[in-house]
Amino acid sequence: MICFPNAKINIGLNVVEKRNDDFHNLETIFLPIGLKDALEFIESDTLQFKNTGLAIDGDPLNNLCVKAWKLIQQDFAIPPIHIHLHKVIPFGAGLGGGSADAAFMLVLLNDFFELKISQEKFIEYALQLGSDCPIFIINKACYGTGRGEILEPIDVNINGKHLVLINSGIHVPTRDAFANITPQHSQFDLRESIQKPITDWKNYIANDFEKSIFPKYPAIAKIKETLYEQGALYASMSGSGSSVFGIFDEKRDLQNVFPECFCWCGEL
């Protein structure tokens, strides 16, 4: 059985407060995009994991897809499987690639073995695998709060616009990104701001991580600046970095502008 886990971007990301459990409460809008991995499995005598495409470091049996199987296997008598993940979404890029793979594996197991898991239970499982995982269970534009697991579908009027996504390959450790940020509430309501014209978003919608990451990694800041120079209606870093995206009126191929970077474009 095969599926195609997709990436997401964050439109706005406010780090609101530090929690007692060492996580942070956030406010963001998650937007699924068309950049995808490929994930499949077959039943097997032993649990196996194979990776093609972008190489995944570490013990294969510690991969999030394997952890998803183990989580389901605790509650349901499912057999061992052989997993094949073809990795396209860059790592440590603020795109939720690993979280998407884990969430899609949960759904794939449910569908194949007809487990009839409820969406509420899916969210519970997903949150055990990562804060970004629940959005991929719903997998449509949502206003996210809490750790990102409290999700409210929201209308983002960008149909027909085009996205250009740039990843420089710079890895920004998530722990470091949070360590250098001062939590605070935004002066603007993100749900109201997203309803304004896209050209106004830059005045109301921001990613709090840019304040600490851009001075330390000026190459990432330069990507955002260049996207605006190329005509982006709105540009921002996604998640805690390091990918930067621009939203355009028309399709743009900017690989020649960013020759050393991963560059992906698609319609929203």
Catalytic residue among 8, 36, 87, 224: 8
Are 126 and 96 contacting, i.e. CB atoms less than 8 angstroms apart?
A: no
Whether residue 8 lies in the annotated active site? yes
- β 142-146/24-36 pair status: antiparallel
For the chain, the residue count is 268
How far apart are alpha carbons 79 and 52 in whole angstroms? 23
Selection from 131, 93, 87, 37 nearest residue 245 by Cα = 93
Token pair of 268 as six digits: 């929203």
User: Which entry of 37, 101, 132, 208 is annotated as an active-site residue?
Assistant: 132
The alpha carbon torsion through 184, 188, 194, 200 (nearest 10 deg) reads -120
Are β-strands 24-36 and 6-18 bridged in parallel, bridged antiparallel, or unpaired?
antiparallel
Beta strand ranges found along the chain (DSSP E):
2-3, 6-18, 24-36, 38-43, 48-53, 81-87, 142-146, 150-153, 162-167, 234-237, 244-248, 262-267
As annotated, the active-site residues are 8, 132
